[in-house]
Amino acid sequence: MFSLTNVVFSYQKYKVINKVSFSLESGQHLSILGESGSGKSTLLKLIYGLEDVDEGQIYWNHTQISGPKFNLVPGMSFIKYLAQDFDLMPFITVRENIGKYLSNFYPEKKQERISDLLRLVEMTDFLDVKVKNLSGGQMQRVAIARVLALEPEILLFDEPFSHIDNSRKNNLRRSVFNYAKENRITCVVATHDMDDALSFSDKMIILKDGEVIEENFPEFIYNNPKSYYIASLFGEVNEIKINSNSYFIYPHQLEVNSIFDFEVCVKNFYFRASHFLIEAVYNGNLIFFEHASSIKKDTILGLRIKKDL
């Protein structure tokens, strides 16, 4: 239903996207992970039609997505794109921003739609507040409601919850992605947030220097990282060498045990609410593991790897 085939794009002579291909069925959600500068935002702009591809093709069903060279007004009508700058109109109200592209032919239906979306993003109390008076997180929630207003066939999200407080983020994330699933809206999300990527995606691609270096189910990529780069996108990771082999081990996959695989010397600890993150040294390199309590500096102890290698 939605496909990219060997897409290439360059800024001047610098190749930003190189031979990117992937496909999605209608209603599927894809997350794009990669370090800053890997090409995530540029790829979303190409999908939306804000830039022209140098090579390759982008299709939704039987419609080819084209850029400014072919469209007087860039952007495809069946796609909505939430960029990191939100693109809201600051001097009109929240209600007016969300309703800007909704038909005035049935005013009662329009207001009902606006009210439903405000409930979805938990902004009902700000209906008649001008956008310029909102916080960054509130603006982001309004921007999410606005791109959902016309129920597009494809949603493109660039760091969609980056400005939102942790107290609201989890509930909002569930509400928005579940809404998209229920309405069979295809989502492509560029993100640094592990929860966006792992919990709500059907597929995941990893970008590095504009190239797809991994494509699979989120759970598979997380549990089977092919490189330190991939594993590090999900948080702290240890590269441990045992018998000349390197393994990428997350902190929660290590435990203190009298039957151990190797010994470490503790150097520091950090409280993480549900546990302590312990910083230690193994073979001259820093290593991190989780523990239920703090551990005194310079303590020597044994660690066991809790996964099969």
**Structure tokens belonging to residue 112:** 């009902």
Contacts for 189 with CB less than 8 Å, ≥ 6 apart = 29, 30, 31, 32, 157, 160, 196, 197, 200, 201
pLDDT averages per 10-residue partition of the chain, 309 residues: 94 92 95 94 95 95 90 86 89 94 89 95 95 94 94 93 88 94 95 87 96 96 94 94 86 95 95 95 94 96 87
Asked if residues 20 and 210 have their Cβ atoms less than 8 Å apart, the reply is yes
H-only helix segments in 160-302: 166-182, 194-199, 218-223, 228-232
- Model pLDDT, residue 86: 84
- Model pLDDT, residue 87: 85
Residue linked to tokens 């989890």 = 170
SS3 call for 71:
coil
Q: Report which of 196, 16, 161, 3 is spatially closest to residue 86, judged by C-alpha positions.
A: 161
Q: Which residues pair with 10 in a beta bridge?
A: 15
- Model pLDDT, residue 115: 95
Q: Computed from CA positions of residues 241, 242, 245, 247, in that sequence, does the dihedral angle turn out positive or negative? A: negative
Greatest CA span in the chain, whole angstroms?
Answer: 73
Burial class (CB in 10 A: 0-12, 13-18, 19+), 54: middle
- Model pLDDT, residue 309: 67
CA gap 20, 7 in Å, rounded:
5
Residue ranges of domains in the chain, CATH in brackets: 2-223 (3.40.50.300), 236-305 (2.40.50)
- Model pLDDT, residue 241: 84
- Model pLDDT, residue 104: 87
- Model pLDDT, residue 71: 84
- Model pLDDT, residue 232: 95
